[in-house]
Amino acid sequence: MTGAPVLSLRDATLAFGARTLWSGLDLDVAPGEFVAVLGPNGSGKTSFLKSVLGAQRLTSGEMRFLDEPVRRGARRIGYIPQQKLITAATPVRARDLVGFGVTGHRWGLPVGRRAERARVDELLAAVGATAYADAPVATLSGGEQQRLRVAQALASDPRLLLCDEPLLSLDLGHQRVVSELIDRHRRETDAAVVFVTHDVNPVLDMVDRVLYLVGGRFRIGTPDEVLDSEVLSSLYGTPVDVVRVRGRVVVVGATDDPHGHHSHDDEEHDEHGDHGPHGVHGASASSSSSSSDGRAA
């Protein structure tokens, strides 16, 4: 992972009124790096992605993508949302859904041009969805629909892939398939990945660094550096145990809202009740980046 950062934050702060989600955040995401964003509900994980997408302005500080200020609609940023089933009320085929990414999300317009159709076929094949390319999306399983969202996000050959709980509600088999599709794109194209999740277990063997957000504070480092009893106890301001059980690491004692804040209407409303301990896998990551922390002003 070398070269100029794909994403760079300097002294970045995001607050809603008197409530600070994170403050003084410095972060460089290198080409090919996989960064997992963890933390309890209301900690600013989804808002972090919204800021990168240009949909939420920072309160202060700077955020740059490919050395340019972030802006809404940047074509080289791919986005994979949470799994949300498409029903029969949205009558589109699998290839149409992928085609919206190829044509710039011109909703409802068919993919007609030969080059566009070829690109859609290529993307469908890449995610293993060729067999149901012409099937109505509403008839597909959650895992199959999420494969299509991965294909759609890859349509612009993104330099940065943002993932907002993309494995939520998927069974273990589809979690592995979707996470491997994301990681394969990263390895083949040197794209950076920022992956928001409440459970890093399915992807930890892919993760280089963790950004852990809690109550206006944060910690950045390798999984082994951050997912540590002493580190997380300091971050939460209360005793937290990180234990290893059957090859997994589980964080015990971490509450959703350690500082008594209430979620802002625009923050973390889509995390679907993550009220338990945050499970993390026990494998080591390969990054040697140093650990750092921050505190809300």
SS3 127: coil
Give the contacts of 118 (CB within 8 A, at least 6 positions apart): none
Q: Give the residue among 91, 100, 112, 220 at the shortest CA–CA distance from 153.
A: 100
| Segment 114-143, tens digit of pLDDT | 888 899 999 999 999 999 999 999 999 989
Angstrom distance (rounded) from CA 15 to CA 264: 10
- On the question of pLDDT at 283 being above 50, the answer is no
More confidently predicted of 107 and 40: 40
In order of their start, the domains of the chain are 7-76+156-294 (3.40.50.300)
Residue ranges with strand state E in the chain:
7-16, 19-29, 34-38, 60-65, 68-69, 77-80, 160-164, 192-196, 209-214, 217-221, 241-245, 248-252, 279-281, 292-294
pLDDT of residue 244: 76
- On the question of pLDDT at 2 being above 50, the answer is yes
- On the question of pLDDT at 206 being above 90, the answer is yes
Q: Give the residue among 253, 249, 231 at the shortest CA–CA distance from 240.
A: 253
| Segment 252-276, tens digit of pLDDT | 886 654 444 444 434 444 433 333 3
More confidently predicted of 99 and 85: 99
Can you list the pairs that 112-121 forms with residues at least 24 positions away whose Cβ atoms lie under 8 Å? 119/155, 120/95, 121/95
| Segment 7-38, tens digit of pLDDT | 999 999 999 999 999 999 999 999 999 999 99
The total of other beta-carbon atoms located within 10 Å of residue 169's CB is 15
The winner for highest mean pLDDT among 83-97, 108-122, 204-218, 236-250 is 204-218
The total of other beta-carbon atoms located within 10 Å of residue 271's CB is 24
- On the question of pLDDT at 278 being above 50, the answer is no
Arithmetic mean of pLDDT, 198-206: 90
pLDDT of residue 238: 92
Q: Tell me the pTM.
A: 0.83
Give the contacts of 142 (CB within 8 A, at least 6 positions apart): 83, 85, 169, 170, 174
- On the question of pLDDT at 61 being above 80, the answer is yes
pLDDT of residue 287: 32
Q: How much is the mean pLDDT over the chain? A: 83
Angstrom distance (rounded) from CA 44 to CA 292: 18
Angstrom distance (rounded) from CA 59 to CA 86: 35
Residue with tokens 């209360």: 238
DSSP letter assigned to residue 136: B
Sign of CA dihedral 27, 188, 69, 44: negative
pLDDT of residue 105: 55
pLDDT of residue 50: 96
